[in-house]
Copies of this chain bind each other. A is one copy, B any other.
């Protein structure tokens, strides 16, 4: 059996893109009732694109590469400045808030409370209004959505310009408003939005668009840029360039290309440079309340630098607590967000706004009221090694906050962590050489209250990250364990701040289940490489404990939102399942090479598959699969009507393709793509034909029907595929490709083969 099929010239096939099927997601979306749209988003091996590149000249290639580097530079700079802007705004709002409150409190506690409360409320109100009325996709952290995007699932609106604006201003409001959430997750989303906008040359609707930048308006390049943006976001949020790269690598993508690694790393480093330069400018006092801290967010490099073996037990305990609390946090937030999604948020925007305002009020009451109920503590004896002043001078930041203390030599330990910005609170919790600063009861109160606040706040319609609240919670119980260790072992080498840091790592590990990237981020934000092995130990334990209960925070949330992410490990049953069992109940919908327009319309109407195999009949009468066509391509073809033809079946591929430009088929990030409702056809047009051949992906990945599902799963993950065709066992092998075939040059190829061509049949 020798199938004679005309050889193709690949440079014609520049539109035959993708191994993508969006098929997967409509059911999930519809059943879960949200408005996720599963758009055909190329995530993969766009060989057609490469061929297109290959057919162009050297000059074009160089300008393409240069432009790509320029773009990642731009992404880095823009993300760095966004992060800087958010930081400045948040710190200044908080600064004004606290200084106003402290000033008014001198006269009246109630007036002080009102000022504090009002400040928070206004900021949160602004934030929730921006999000609900202007940019609904900006709510939450955005990390599950970005993870989805980079694995081929496009949630509507997540990468729009308005989402970017909403995210930036919304998180200024929500973080400045003192809610129990962080700005780190939103920054990752911000980076991704910037990357996507840069990649498509601006936003159409906002008139900042450059036509010549459309080189990158294809899905593969955009995906690469978004990966860079994602790393840039982490790098900006934590000032952790290496952590950013590893985050993008470990957490976000399932596939990996080594060429991309270097570019991602470059973006991260650019962000670091930008943030550092901007902060350097701030040290001269240009930035109001911002700029006191260094590049390292919570520097503990002066802390504990050695550890004894007997400390491993309490550290393991920290890990176990982290695993338990993290899993509890995931479970509670899952219940709550599912309740919100199905009941509360269905009642309209007003409910969302009221909810956020209520949470803000509750937060204000707790953070103002609880410290009032706490007794003040006398400052410790002056320590010659420490330059920390107790109580801290008015108008400054740091430990030992004097809040409602009658004696000027006293401080309020609960106010030190509760009545403060979160960054400062964490700095205070991590602070070394401040043994016995906090009483156990204060820490316990704070832990219980803040944990509850974080759970309640999660899922309100404001931009919200979970890193900082996680660090707050974790460092509180970590510090508690540290106090215990100090009391039990009476070793002056033990530092409570170290345990706080380990606690923070353990809670994040127990909740988000990240490993390597989290480790590196923790090291980079605290600048203490010595603690790396301890952080690893704690993470190992907390992740293992957490995994015994439920999946990670992002996975749980993605599942609830109907984003189908492939976990890193295939399920157990897949080992025993052959792929043909999985598609037993499927009836495959195929198109003939030349199909009637009316038939295509009816097929598209009657099902929601996103990819269709295309078959052709050879002269011998045999049927052969010539490729796969995407629903979105069919829609474009139907709308443009350029390719309709009366009857003559085969037309010149080159001619057909010349009528389309490459960007016709690429989805706009800012639109929802075509739908069948947008297409209007007359009955005469319905009777015409289309030759689909130029528009198919001629070589989709295929697997034999008896391959195990595990193997297919890995194929999907490692190559980032969105569909695979299952075919019967082949009846013939045309050749065996080995590594040698891929190494030798084409000229050597034929010679190299000769000696091995020994037939036996």
Contacts and interface: CB of A to CB of B under 8 A. Distances in A.
A760 interface: yes
A372 B584 CA distance: 84
A292 interface: no
Contact of A756 (B272, B520, B586, B758): B586
A668 B47 CA distance: 40
A564 B743 contact: yes
A202 interface: no
Contact of A45 (B573, B711, B746, B754): B711
A746 B5 CA distance: 39
A380 interface: no
A27 interface: yes
Contacts of A698: 706
Which size bracket describes the interface of A in this complex? 35 or more
Given A151-B739, A269-B533, 6 more contacts: A256-B718, A571-B745, A587-B758, A588-B733, A611-B736, A699-B703
A270 B757 CA distance: 50
Interface stretch (A18-26, A86-94, A347-355, A452-460): A18-26
Interface string A606-622: 11111101000000001
Given A718-B718, A723-B736, A746-B577, A730 B625 contact: yes
Nearest to A153: B739
A170 B480 CA distance: 52
A756 B258 CA distance: 37
Interface stretch (A6-14, A323-331, A671-679, A686-694): A6-14
A206 interface: no
Given A23-B738, A28-B740, A575-B51, A699 B725 contact: no
A529 B710 CA distance: 42
A205 interface: no
Contacts of A583: 734-737, 741
A556 interface: no
Contact of A734 (B8, B254, B272, B728): B728
Contacts of A738: 21, 23-24, 610-611, 722-723
Contacts of A750: 584-585
A587 B728 CA distance: 23
Contact of A266 (B151, B536, B702): B536
A506 to B, nearest CB: 16
30 contacts: A8-B706, A10-B575, A10-B708, A23-B736, A23-B740, A24-B739, A27-B756, A45-B711, A47-B575, A152-B739, A242-B520, A258-B568, A261-B516, A262-B515, A266-B536, A564-B740, A582-B741, A586-B736, A586-B753, A587-B758, A587-B759, A589-B759, A589-B761, A590-B733, A599-B760, A603-B758, A705-B735, A716-B739, A725-B736, A728-B730
A315 to B, nearest CB: 13
Contacts of A269: 532-533, 536
Contacts of A27: 740, 752, 755-756
Nearest to A306: B280
A715 interface: yes
Contacts of A245: 516
A105 to B, nearest CB: 40
Contacts of A34: none
A758 B575 CA distance: 29
A707 B711 CA distance: 20
